[in-house]
A and B are shown apart, each in its own frame.
Chain A
Amino acid sequence: AEMRVLVGVKRVVDYAVKVRVKPDKTGVITEGVQHSMNPFDEIALEEAVKLKEKKAVTEVVAFSMGGPKCQEVLRTALAKGADKAIHIEIPDADASQLEPLHVARAMRKIIESDKFDAVFLGKQAIDDDANQTGSLLAGMMDWPQALYASKVEPDGKSLKVTREIDGGLDTIKVTLPAVLSADLRLNEPRYATLPNIMKAKKKPLEKKSAKDLGIDLAPQTKMVEVSEPPVRQAGGFVDDVPALIAKLKEKGFIKA
């Protein structure tokens, strides 16, 4: 039986970079800064590839939406075991306005034209921490969702997924097709090795534009301002409790 998995991967500023805000406060500096695949997406991809090695999945297709440089991340995905890659290209200038809703719409179009049994994503991207794409897509497709997965076991036409939630571990069973989002402890992504990097160069990378798919890219949110977190203020010492209470009243933390 065929089981095809679509894996969403996003190109983000590398986690090790010290992020700095642009002087015009419209966002963070991305020019000349090291980028890489969103770490949670790496984990999602690794899970799909592992399932393919276990013969539970027959094809893994990597998906990314954004400017031309997305191809770097897609090539890496191919080197790490994806069979094909799809790039939904939008002009660089519009990339900063891209929202999870648009990505979900694009993924839905791809799934509608090219049947998939599951969508794997990272639980959130480390640049916007939105944590929305998976849920939005599941809602649009009316598919079950298994988010924050820390363990995945194929179970016939379903997936048994253990999820990390605030209260502990929650194990659910979702019937395919379904959306799954990967959390940190799901697996340890492999390194791309040279033979796979060489093979990746020959694997197909399909490019489509958002216009081709006919999706609406009108932004729903407007970025008002991006600023550095406030510098931590120095504290002060007080000699005794009355002085402490006086200070707290002065600063407005206790009613005077």
Chain B
Amino acid sequence: RMLSRLAPKAAVRSAISGTNASRFASAAATGKKEKPAPMAAQESDSFCMNLFRGKAKVDQVFPYPLNLDEERKETLQMILDPTAKFLNEVNDVVKNDENAETPMAVLKQFAELGAFGALVPPEYEGAGMNNTQMARLAEIVGSHDLGLGVIMGAHQSIGYKGILLVGTEEQKKKYLPDLATGRKFAAFCLTEPSTGSDANSVRSTARKSDDGSHYILNANKIYISNGGFADVFTVFAQMPIKQADGTTKNKVTAFIVERGFGGITNGPPEKKMGIKGSNTAVVDFENVKIPKENLLGGEGEGFKVAMNILNNGRFGIPAAMTGAMKHCIKKTIDHVTTREQFGHKLEEYGNVQEKLANMIAKQYACESILYILASNMDRGIQDYQLEAAIAKVFTSECAWFTCDEAIQVHGGMGFMKETGLERVLRDLRIFRIFEGANDIMRIFVGLTGIQHAGKHLQAQASGGIGGLIGLAMGRFAGPSGAFNGVVDPALKKSADALDNCVSLFGRTVQDLLVKHKKGIINRQYEVVRVADAAIDIYGMAATLSRCTQTSKSAGSTAEYEKKVANYFCETAAARAEANLKSVAADNEAIVNTIAEISKGACSAGANPIAHPIDTL
């Protein structure tokens, strides 16, 4: 009973992400008592979900699922070559940044390559690619121009993804051809002045007309990518929905809105830190009449539609991030092999070697995680929300780190616009914020996993705390050996470390649940550290899986690859163990101190500590 309060009313099982965790948080914060949910403990094949139970369920990670067939490889190659050429010769990333605009002529030419309809089937004039192919394409764009990557992503990964996922046949026929070919552009309109991570709190409203022929939309959306020039908008607004019990409740509903419907205005382009080539604007919808055929999904289903879209498009970010990292690493290698100081090339110094090794190891892990995600989505796996969230958080932070280190290694030159790295850093910053802020993603990963583990524990416990403690005694006897058969013997040490981490992780989570029960929702200190450990552990599994597979055919670079994989695992295991140790400690005092420091400053309206000069 104590664990059932963890479950909110909305089922976590549906493909949702991001803001559902904030509902946990907000529910806890307001002290709302949610009705106890059914105690069904779901079985999952997701590696991450099972990790939270201390189980190594390897099916979705081993063997490495990347397996593009010859035809797809060929088509991909045929699109990549002209894309790379276009990015090198036609698109001018420096100008796009300077002018804070990517010329429409450039976008139209990019559209001719099929870049804006990658996942749309050929019968709707799309490129008919799968997620793996699209990921590779997004990598290349990410390594050249992240602003262009955002235009692409805002348009197809989320802008019109809803039509692809839940649109009716009529809606697909009507909208996809123009959107896939770039004749028209799309934008995803969720964010409002008082709605960021908390998607359910949108204040925009829609109501059905009296004769039922159309809806009337009033919305004030901000920070909308492509908002300044899009013609097709996916808009989310509250609609009064009759409930089963006769009451009326406001529920978020999704609509396909055309600029041509009238009543739509947008503000000037926002002045941003980075991705300046991408247009970001306020979009206002005033009494916009939407034909009833343009309802997207069902009435009141908008939250699920939004989360579905974001979850489905999320892999685009790890792809762009991996590409950006490759660019930074290439520049770093060029620099350290030519620059000399104190009579030696930079590459000869231990600290520089460590920086470069870290960059390469992280990029390897990011790429490995990316293609598990894309490949699993392609083979029909539905339960990938944790893996997608982890991929987004991990890659955006690795990319930031990599670019930052690249600038550092370049010294003063790194700071100069000419070198081309400062722009990348400015472009990268937003990726930790939008599309599911990393902070929310962490809490989502942590709480979703912990809840999953909690349900299973509860199902197995005979009742009350006593039963659970008894359970704790018998579990986690030690590493499972689950990785022995699937990891290359040369990587055994890392596989054992991974095995140990998985056990330690499960044990730590279980102890957390026993200790805090439903209060775990409020223990953000522990939850984010649990999430960080999960991220590192998943990274280790992805790395070992990929290395095992590619070692079979990598030829002369196989040994090098194993070194990189082992190094990543060594550093990731150390981080994970440190985080789990933190989680397991008695954190009451430190959590209180943290709260008091924060409260003291907030209630005073400023840092209350006086300047030492004034005090002394």
State the A residues within 8 Å of B (CB): 31-32, 36, 71-72, 75-76, 79, 191-194, 197-198, 200-201
Q: Are B114 and A197 in contact (CB under 8 A)?
A: yes
Which one, A31, A192, A201, contacts B82 given CB within 8 A?
A: A192
Q: Are A75 and B78 in contact (CB under 8 A)?
A: yes
B79 closest partner in A (C-beta): A197
Secondary structure class of chain A's binding surface, majority of residues: helix
- Distance, CA A79 to CA B82, complexed state (A): 10
Cβ-closest 10 pairs across A and B:
A194-B114, A193-B112, A191-B82, A192-B82, A197-B78, A194-B127, A194-B113, A79-B78, A72-B77, A75-B78
Interface size class on chain B is 20 to 34
Shortest beta-carbon distance, A9 to chain B, in Å? 13
Shortest beta-carbon distance, B141 to chain A, in Å? 15
Q: Most chain-A Cβ atoms within 10 A of its Cβ — which of B75, B81, B114?
A: B81
Q: A36-B81, A72-B77, A76-B78 are in contact. Are A194 and B557 (CB under 8 A)?
A: no
A-side contacts of B74, CB under 8 Å: 71-72, 75
Question: What would be 22 A-B contacts, judged by CB atoms less than 8 Å apart?
Answer: A31-B556, A71-B74, A72-B77, A75-B78, A76-B81, A79-B78, A191-B82, A191-B109, A192-B78, A192-B82, A192-B113, A193-B113, A194-B79, A194-B113, A194-B127, A197-B78, A197-B79, A197-B114, A198-B127, A198-B128, A200-B78, A201-B75
Q: Most chain-A Cβ atoms within 10 A of its Cβ — which of B78, B86, B128?
A: B78
Shortest beta-carbon distance, B552 to chain A, in Å? 15
Shortest beta-carbon distance, B57 to chain A, in Å? 34
A-side contacts of B75, CB under 8 Å: 197, 201
State the B residues within 8 Å of A (CB): 74-75, 77-79, 81-82, 85-86, 109, 112-114, 117, 122, 127-128, 555-557
Q: A72-B77, A79-B78 are in contact. Are A194 and B555 (CB under 8 A)?
A: no
- Distance, CA A75 to CA B73, complexed state (A): 12
B-side contacts of A198, CB under 8 Å: 122, 127-128
What would 19 more interface pairs be, CB under 8 Å, given A72-B74, A75-B78, A79-B78? A31-B556, A32-B555, A36-B81, A71-B74, A72-B77, A72-B78, A191-B82, A191-B109, A191-B113, A192-B81, A192-B82, A193-B113, A193-B114, A194-B113, A194-B114, A198-B122, A198-B127, A198-B128, A201-B75
- Distance, CA A36 to CA B84, complexed state (A): 12
B-side contacts of A71, CB under 8 Å: 74
Shortest beta-carbon distance, B134 to chain A, in Å? 13
- Distance, CA A200 to CA B75, complexed state (A): 10
A190 closest partner in B (C-beta): B82
Shortest beta-carbon distance, B60 to chain A, in Å? 29
A-side contacts of B81, CB under 8 Å: 36, 76, 192
B111 closest partner in A (C-beta): A194
- Distance, CA A76 to CA B109, complexed state (A): 18
Shortest beta-carbon distance, A196 to chain B, in Å? 9
A-side contacts of B128, CB under 8 Å: 198
Shortest beta-carbon distance, B119 to chain A, in Å? 13
A-side contacts of B86, CB under 8 Å: 191
B83 closest partner in A (C-beta): A191
Q: Most chain-A Cβ atoms within 10 A of its Cβ — which of B114, B117, B122?
A: B114
- Distance, CA A71 to CA B127, complexed state (A): 20
Q: Are B77 and A191 in contact (CB under 8 A)?
A: no
B554 closest partner in A (C-beta): A32
Q: A31-B555, A31-B556, A32-B557 are in contact. Are A191 and B78 (CB under 8 A)?
A: no
- Distance, CA A36 to CA B80, complexed state (A): 11
- Distance, CA A71 to CA B79, complexed state (A): 15
B-side contacts of A191, CB under 8 Å: 82, 85-86, 109, 112-113
B-side contacts of A193, CB under 8 Å: 82, 112-114
A29 closest partner in B (C-beta): B556
- Distance, CA A150 to CA B81, complexed state (A): 25
Which one, A36, A72, A194, A201, contacts B112 given CB within 8 A?
A: A194
Shortest beta-carbon distance, B16 to chain A, in Å? 33
A-side contacts of B85, CB under 8 Å: 191
Q: Most chain-B Cβ atoms within 10 A of its Cβ — which of A79, A194, A200?
A: A194
Shortest beta-carbon distance, A16 to chain B, in Å? 8
- Distance, CA A201 to CA B128, complexed state (A): 13
- Distance, CA A200 to CA B79, complexed state (A): 12
Shortest beta-carbon distance, A19 to chain B, in Å? 16
B-side contacts of A197, CB under 8 Å: 75, 78-79, 114
- Distance, CA A234 to CA B475, complexed state (A): 69
- Distance, CA A203 to CA B117, complexed state (A): 23
Shortest beta-carbon distance, A27 to chain B, in Å? 15
Shortest beta-carbon distance, B136 to chain A, in Å? 14
- Distance, CA A71 to CA B70, complexed state (A): 12
B-side contacts of A76, CB under 8 Å: 78, 81
- Distance, CA A194 to CA B557, complexed state (A): 34
Shortest beta-carbon distance, A135 to chain B, in Å? 30
A-side contacts of B557, CB under 8 Å: 32
- Distance, CA A191 to CA B557, complexed state (A): 33
A-side contacts of B77, CB under 8 Å: 72, 75
- Distance, CA A72 to CA B112, complexed state (A): 20
A189 closest partner in B (C-beta): B85
A-side contacts of B112, CB under 8 Å: 191, 193-194
A-side contacts of B113, CB under 8 Å: 191-194
- Distance, CA A200 to CA B82, complexed state (A): 14
B-side contacts of A72, CB under 8 Å: 74, 77-78
B88 closest partner in A (C-beta): A16
A-side contacts of B82, CB under 8 Å: 191-193
B-side contacts of A31, CB under 8 Å: 555-556
Shortest beta-carbon distance, B258 to chain A, in Å? 24
- Distance, CA A31 to CA B109, complexed state (A): 33
Shortest beta-carbon distance, A38 to chain B, in Å? 13
- Distance, CA A198 to CA B79, complexed state (A): 10
Shortest beta-carbon distance, B510 to chain A, in Å? 46
A-side contacts of B109, CB under 8 Å: 191
- Distance, CA A31 to CA B558, complexed state (A): 13
B-side contacts of A201, CB under 8 Å: 75
A-side contacts of B79, CB under 8 Å: 194, 197
- Distance, CA A191 to CA B112, complexed state (A): 9
Shortest beta-carbon distance, B84 to chain A, in Å? 9
- Distance, CA A192 to CA B81, complexed state (A): 9
Shortest beta-carbon distance, B581 to chain A, in Å? 41
B-side contacts of A79, CB under 8 Å: 78
B128 closest partner in A (C-beta): A198
B-side contacts of A75, CB under 8 Å: 74, 77-78
Shortest beta-carbon distance, A184 to chain B, in Å? 15
- Distance, CA A29 to CA B85, complexed state (A): 23
Shortest beta-carbon distance, B571 to chain A, in Å? 26
Shortest beta-carbon distance, B90 to chain A, in Å? 8
A188 closest partner in B (C-beta): B89
A-side contacts of B127, CB under 8 Å: 194, 198
A-side contacts of B117, CB under 8 Å: 194
B-side contacts of A192, CB under 8 Å: 78, 81-82, 113
- Distance, CA A31 to CA B127, complexed state (A): 29
Shortest beta-carbon distance, B145 to chain A, in Å? 17
A194 closest partner in B (C-beta): B114
Shortest beta-carbon distance, A78 to chain B, in Å? 9
Q: Most chain-B Cβ atoms within 10 A of its Cβ — which of A71, A198, A200, A201?
A: A198
- Distance, CA A36 to CA B114, complexed state (A): 20
B74 closest partner in A (C-beta): A75
Shortest beta-carbon distance, A162 to chain B, in Å? 26
Shortest beta-carbon distance, B334 to chain A, in Å? 10
